[in-house]
Amino acid sequence: MKRFTFKSLLQSSGWNDNVTVVVDENGRISELLENTDDKGEIIQGYAIPGFQNAHSHAFQYAMAGRAEQHQNPDDSDDFWGWRETMYQLALSITPEDLYSIAKDLYSEMLRNGYTQVAEFHYVHHQPDGRPYPNLAEMGEALLKASRDTGIKITLIPIFYQKGGFGKAPNDRQRRFISENVEDYRKLLDATIEVAEKYPLANVAIGIHSMRGVDPQDIVKVAKEFPQDLPFHIHIAEQLKEIEDSIAFLGKRPVEWMLENVAMNHRFHLVHASHLTEKETEGIAKSGANVVLCPSTEGNLGDGIFPLINFQKLGGKWSIGTDSHIGLNPMEELRILDYGQRLISHKRNIMIGNGFNDSGRYAIHQATLAGRKAMNNFEETYFKVGADFDACVIAAEHPTLANEDKSNLASRIVYSSDSSMVKCVFVRGRLMVVV
């Protein structure tokens, strides 16, 4: 047994001072004690739930900043131009490269307070497009990086089949492609099998996008594949994607999904930048979650998700770092909030679910919906029997010194940076000490 005592620990009900967390040999919380004499290791910090990074493309960490040179200022550049740079990188990396990139990335995620990552993984095959003998070769490189850094991982092998609505894949996508549902099933099964060797890993189901998989195959995967796994999909990220969907299906992407797939709490719609009011309401009513990646969405010029209306309808959202142009969860939350403030000219955006404190509300949403993205439905932040995963903020930092508890969560979310992360715990193991 190990004991760690914090200046204060955040639960959904508020801050609890001088809490001692007793952790068993498996990294699970065996006791939560207040004002006990047997304090164990005393940590001058504020413990909040470890952040869940609900959307990651690890290999893209290697291209952060590489798509920012624009030869002609009069030419437009957008997501589709950025994608060509991404293809070049995807065609060049080996399993060893991917392990190295992911190891560096996951170390930085831990340093910033993330304790689990949902890896939306679609670089599956050899550079010539042929499958590796081990179908999950590239995925296992990510699992090894998770193991060796100590971050938890939900590996999502992605079904990627098309080059656009009704179009064959282009040659630059050859490492991504599963030609049909059965090929994807084999890939998923291989991933599940290999993930069983890694204690910090589990697996989810993923469709690249509406444009990337035949619509009827999306329905088939949603209906026939395991119903106890999270289901992730990029959707409605780009205006061109909306236009192409209308031309091909006669429906907008989210509109089509709502009419053809029985979405519920296990569905995680990534980006969903461009929605009608009806689509926004439909997602919220279905119980599906939205995964927002504000730094990447801003970098790519995607658009701004209709968060205000979604929240009013009880919608649930989490955060991810996607292409990893940014890695600070506090920054993701701030960009998300400030974007809404700029278009609404209001400041009371991050409120709801019984919270009128923006910082506490942001942490609450990102924690609970983020956990669901990883197939964890626990709503108590820290609970006896659960793994002890925590991000600890330095209490002695001048920004937080003598801060009143009523403002503390918002001070952390709106005024902190990664230098204020004192340490991080994953499954009871002290991973990062700054």
Residues tagged active-site: 271, 322
- Please name the residues in contact with 130: beta carbons below 8 A apart, sequence gap of 6 or more: none
Characterize the bridge pairing of strands 421-426 and 390-394: antiparallel
How many whole angstroms separate alpha carbon 205 and alpha carbon 207?
7
Q: Report the SS3 class of residue 118.
A: strand
Question: What is the Cβ-side half-sphere exposure of residue 62, based on CA atoms within 13 angstroms?
Answer: 19
Listing from the earlier edge strand, what are the strands of the sheet with 429-433?
Answer: 29-34, 14-23, 2-11, 41-49, 390-394, 421-426, 429-433
- Report the sign of the C-alpha dihedral through residues 122, 139, 219, 254, in that order: negative
Question: What is the Cβ-side half-sphere exposure of residue 256, based on CA atoms within 13 angstroms?
Answer: 22
The position carrying tokens 């938890």 is: 152
- For 247-272, b/e burial (b = at least 16 CB within 10 A) is ebbebbbbbbbbeebebeebbbbbbb
